[in-house]
Chains A and B, each alone.
Chain A
Amino acid sequence: MIEVRDLRKIYVMGDEELAALAGVTLTIERGEYVAIIGPSGSGKSTLMNILGGLDRATSGDYRFEGEDVAHFSDDQLAEFRNRRIGFVFQSFQLLPRLTALQNVELPMIYAGVGVAERRARAAELLERVGLGARMGHRPTQLSGGQQQRVAVARSLANRPDLLLADEPTGALDTRTSEDVLALFGQLNAEGLTLAIVTHDPEVAQAARRRITFRDGLVVSDERTGVPA
């Protein structure tokens, strides 16, 4: 589903050049559950942002289901993020003025889904992540774990092909992390492709494939088979 070849992201700061990605090549198949690990500053987030169409590589090839994402226009990228990708951030990134329900509706509004349909779907998704009773709450009225579950519901709104999560449990305690992790497990079991950046060994354990980064390069890529 994803084919990345010799992907580079170079930041120029004054005279210095910094290669956040120094030539990454990898493929991810449909239905995979991939954990991306590695030390801080190794380029994990940079890769995720490029895969999610939030950022552009300096050079290299990125194909998503055969489409040449690297050469998408801004509008094509927006549509790509809207329809194909679900993104979960470490810091949740919910809009504080909106209720949980409205936050989940947001991607569907940009997709042009009608009011009744998107409201029903948002409610269904919140139900699904166990927040059926909290739909009218604003983010400030929710715990961290609840907020992250709203964010997961939002990422699923337009039935994406790929769910990207950048340290989704980084701001959560162990117990709530487990809830979110269980949710990811279920989603993958239902066929959703997942790529998760994490420092959490437990999260990494849950995945069936671990890609390790160092200095902008893939240093190991191991499949662990079906987790216990």
Chain B
Amino acid sequence: MNPLELGRFALGAILAHPMRSVLTSLGVVIGVAAVVMMTSIGLGAQQRVTQAISGLGSNLIIVTPNFQRGPVSQAAGAGVSLRDADAEAIRKQVADVAAVAPVVRGQGQLAADGANWNTRIEGVTPEYLDARDLTIAAGRMFDEREARQGRKVLVVGATVARELWGDDDPIGRRVRVRTVPFEVIGVLESKGQSGFGQDQDDVVLAPLSAVRSRIVGRRSRGDSVQTIYVKAADEESLDRVQEDVINVLRDQHRIRAGEDDDFQTQNMASILAASQAAVGTFTVLLAAVAGVSLVVGGVGIMNIMLVAVTERTREIGLRMAVGAKRSHVLIQFALESVALSLVGGLIGLAIGVGGAFLVAKLGDWPAAVPAWAGPLALGFSVAVGLLFGAYPSWRAARLDPIEALRRE
């Protein structure tokens, strides 16, 4: 016989009880909607993390002191800080480096024209802009000479400019940073919120030596820095540059073979990969939990299909009496179950996609419905229909025609 006819039989049975069919597929609707929503939200989170991390600068290696250093090297007295000399050494000895930017950090009160603002103060060199992918919106960055001389000039972030001067032009203004007077020479292009919720515009940049002598003060050694940013020339050289940086620094710090580093390096690519993996795991977990409801939906279908087989025992007997083979009955009921599940899957997909966009809109969260959500949802619903329809269909197919016909 024409297999399409079996599909027609299955559809006929489904359409004979529209309400019941809808209720039967409700479990799959909810399951598929949940899976689609969860994966979309997870993927959105992944994109946001990616955005946040790449916002820190591309092809970037971050070198920081390692405070978890072993007792042996501590006894050697090498100290925990990075130094200007380390940055110099990296610049001179490592190939394919686009920028090396040592940073000294502080926090402090800014006072100007009657307004006050507490912000992050970063003592940097001009290369810092390159390293962190920052640009100047107005005015200029200080140059090498100004940096070396420790001139008291400031490049301010957009938030700082707004808080202190509102809409007025900040260029040329005098600011007291912890009582030390500075002059504003530039404003940074806004970078907005970082993905971690930090305002990246709430910062001021000043020459490293000025910050070191005037603001960080005597609390640290005269040539120490907190972080060295190293920007590789391109993505391909990132790993090699990182290795070279490690070797140069071990050399600088006279760390013998077998001893641990007294610093650590992180490259943005590996941070990105690690966070994405973490978010990915989380997403899979969410989807798995949502998948449980899909299983529950499948059990719902199985339940109703078993009822249908009982209800329609006489029909099955009659079909067999006029020539249906066991395989025909099996396929008819399996198709019915798959169709119920598939319709549930389609509705669930629509709800899931809609829900993901709604969450995105309400929660200021990127909506990222993956392209494979559709095929996945439909594949899953077909699988659920087959899996949970198998037993009822088998029960239908193995009925004895005579007994089935006699059933009331």
Contact = CB atoms under 8 A, between A and B. Distances in A.
A13 to B, nearest CB: 14
B325 A154 contact: no
Nearest to B327: A75
A81 B321 contact: yes
B323 A79 contact: yes
A54 B321 contact: yes
A47 to B, nearest CB: 12
Interface in A81-139: 81-83, 87, 89, 93, 95, 97, 106-107, 109-112
B2 A107 contact: no
A114 B238 CA distance: 69
A49 B402 CA distance: 8
A87 B321 contact: yes
Contact of A89 (B319, B323, B405): B405
Contact of B325 (A75, A87, A89, A95): A75
Contacts of A82: 322-323
B405 A107 contact: no
Contacts of B318: 93, 95
B278 interface: no
Given A78-B320, A81-B321, A93-B314, A54 B402 contact: yes
A176 B2 CA distance: 37
Given A75-B325, A154-B322, A110 B405 contact: no
B315 A111 contact: no
A83 B323 CA distance: 8
A54 B318 CA distance: 10
Interface in B273-331: 314-315, 317-328
A74 interface: yes
Contact of B5 (A78, A81, A109, A154): A109
Interface string B1-38: 11001000000110010000000000000000000000
Chain A residues touching B, range: 20 to 34
A54 B401 contact: yes
B402 A55 contact: yes
Contact of A112 (B1, B314, B401): B1
A39 to B, nearest CB: 20
A54 B405 CA distance: 10
Contacts of A52: 321
Interface in B334-351: none
Contacts of A87: 321-322
Given A74-B326, A95-B315, A97-B16, A109 B321 contact: no
A112 B321 CA distance: 16
A75 B327 CA distance: 9
Nearest to A114: B2
Contact of B326 (A54, A78, A106, A112): A78
Contacts of B323: 78-79, 81-83, 107, 110-111, 158
B322 A81 contact: yes
A97 B323 CA distance: 19
Contacts of B326: 74-75, 78
Which of B12, B317, B323, B324 is packed against the most chain A CB atoms within 10 Å? B323
Interface in B125-174: none
A125 B319 CA distance: 19
A110 B402 contact: no
Nearest to A49: B402
A82 B323 CA distance: 4
Contact of A110 (B12, B13, B16, B322): B322
Contacts of A97: 12-13, 16
A78 B319 CA distance: 10
Interface of B: 1-2, 5, 12-13, 16, 314-315, 317-328, 401-402, 405
Interface of A: 49, 52, 54-55, 74-75, 78-79, 81-83, 87, 89, 93, 95, 97, 106-107, 109-112, 154, 157-158
Given A75-B325, A93-B318, A106-B319, 4 more contacts: A54-B402, A55-B401, A75-B326, A111-B1
29 contacts: A54-B321, A55-B402, A74-B325, A75-B325, A75-B327, A78-B324, A78-B325, A78-B326, A81-B320, A82-B322, A82-B323, A89-B405, A93-B314, A93-B317, A93-B321, A93-B405, A95-B315, A95-B318, A97-B13, A107-B322, A107-B323, A109-B1, A109-B2, A109-B5, A110-B324, A110-B328, A112-B1, A112-B2, A157-B322
